[in-house]
Structure 1
Amino acid sequence: MPRPRILVTDFDGTITAHDFYKLVVGSLLTPRDIAPWQEYRDGKITHLAALQQIFAKIRASESELNTLALAMQPDPCLGSAVADLREAGWEIVVASAGCDWYIRRVLDAAGVSLPVHANPTSYEPNGSLRMLAPTDSPFYCAETGVDKAGIVRSYIRRGYTVAFAGDGFADLPAALGVSPALRFARADLAAALGRYHEDFHAFSVWSDVADALLAMENQGELR
């Protein structure tokens, strides 16, 4: 019997072309509003605290925020790629340091249902997003809210063959936790892996990851 298989995937910039944070900063916030990001970069506050403070500064209608979420541009082949992976026996889970609020909206609009590990978030009457720490999650991490590397480790301990796909510097620990043959990277994650001389598969859109995994299946490269 083959080992169970799972793809742990980042969301912003991985399943989508754009990050929600960058879209919000570019259209709704002032330089003063995003000052917490510099505090995070200076090591004064956590990544999670910076996003909490920044998203609390948003003043927009829910419709405006929905429009920004859809402007993230998920891979147009997302639905068919998910279906093909599932048909081949792969499970898929989203692991994100962002907000579940926009992730679920983007997935719903694409007609895709996936398990999501992200920071629970609600739209508030003042037009902001209230982002909470997922302290009741087994994968809670004080720095980012969600421990992506912990999710990878948990499935490996359970006997899964685990693949990982991501695009950011923060994805590096999770990416290093899987076999190089099952490591997919673009943008900042690809640059970081390159600096460490670590092997990976480059991808442009998320469905490239699905295609590569399916090709490995067809060629009998997975055990």
Structure 2
Amino acid sequence: MPDAVLVSDFDGTMTAEDFYSLAVKRLLPAEALGPWKAYLAGRMTHFNALRTIFSRIRAPEADVLAVIDAMGLDPKLPDALTRLRAAGWEVVVASAGCAWYIDRLLDTAGVCLEVHANPGVYLPGGPLVMEAPPPSPFTCEETGVDKAAVVRDALARARAVAFAGDGLADLPAALLVPDGRRFARGDLAEALTRCGRPFRTFAAWSDIAAMLLDAGGAS
């Protein structure tokens, strides 16, 4: 069993940009964000909003891979992971996005991580087909991957648990960890502020590793 676990969102947390928003900017008309607006208004699940946006992509795979590259995976990620693991931290990715592009970015960086994400495949010429993961303790209808369930699992098997995220869908998971191990930016930071719950900010994912290590490793 690990001494400590950091559960991390991927899009906008390990990367600078979300895949869905970059795909709309580069490959789709502005109105393609309609499903996302429906999600924010409570008329569509997070999973169905992303799946619908992805289903509208029609482009050569090379163009989509360029979008993935532009997401900006933290270049210091490999070194940060090495230092975290040496201090007793296990890192788990819990994403409501698609494993198709997450796995590509991590493979390119030479990083091996446990990843909970929605499976998918890019068909020739498009679209990106994202499916719900098979039923498990870590799945749910709203996001496909139940991030809060991943955190609860970590809490059951480790002495220290941290969470990092940037989106509204990260809020239930973020609220499960102690204040000093809650890392947020973007929409998650705004939601936590509205709830009156403390959090630590970060500019890049590697900043989170530095803060956890400065706090004394897995202690």
Q: TM-score, normalising length from structure 1?
A: 0.92
CA–CA distance in structure 2, aligned partners of residues 77 and 157 of structure 1: 29
On the 8 A contact 2:60/2:124 being kept in 1, the answer is no
Shift of 1:63: 1.4
1:43 corresponding residue in structure 2 = 42
CA–CA distance in structure 2, aligned partners of residues 82 and 135 of structure 1: 28
**1:155 maps onto 2:134 in alignment:** no
Which ranges of structure 2 fall in alignment gaps of 5 or more residues?
A: none
On the 8 A contact 1:14/1:165 being kept in 2, the answer is yes
1:178 corresponding residue in structure 2 = 177
The one-letter code of the counterpart of 2:154 is Y
Instruction: Show the 5 A alignment for 1:1-223.
Output: 4-217=3-216, 223=219
On the 8 A contact 1:3/1:161 being kept in 2, the answer is no
Shift of 1:32: 4.3
CA–CA distance in structure 1, aligned partners of residues 206 and 93 of structure 2: 14
CA–CA distance in structure 2, aligned partners of residues 66 and 216 of structure 1: 37
Which ranges of structure 1 fall in alignment gaps of 5 or more residues?
A: none
Deviations 1:151-204 (A, max 9, x none): 101111224411001111111111110000111111211111112221111111
The one-letter code of the counterpart of 1:89 is G
CA–CA distance in structure 2, aligned partners of residues 212 and 70 of structure 1: 27
Shift of 1:37: 2.5
The one-letter code of the counterpart of 1:34 is L
Shift of 1:41: 3.0
The one-letter code of the counterpart of 2:204 is V
What is the CA RMSD across the aligned residues, in angstroms? 1.6
CA–CA distance in structure 1, aligned partners of residues 46 and 168 of structure 2: 12
Sequence identity (%)? 54
Stretches (4+) displaced over 3 A: 31-34
Shift of 1:44: 2.7
Deviations 1:79-118 (A, max 9, x none): 1001110111110011111000111111111111111101
Question: What count of residue pairs does the alignment treat as equivalent?
Answer: 219
Q: TM-score, normalising length from structure 2?
A: 0.94
Q: Does the residue aligned with 1:217 lie in a helix, a strand or coil?
A: coil
Deviations 1:20-56 (A, max 9, x none): 0110000111244333223323333211111111111
On the 8 A contact 2:2/2:88 being kept in 1, the answer is no
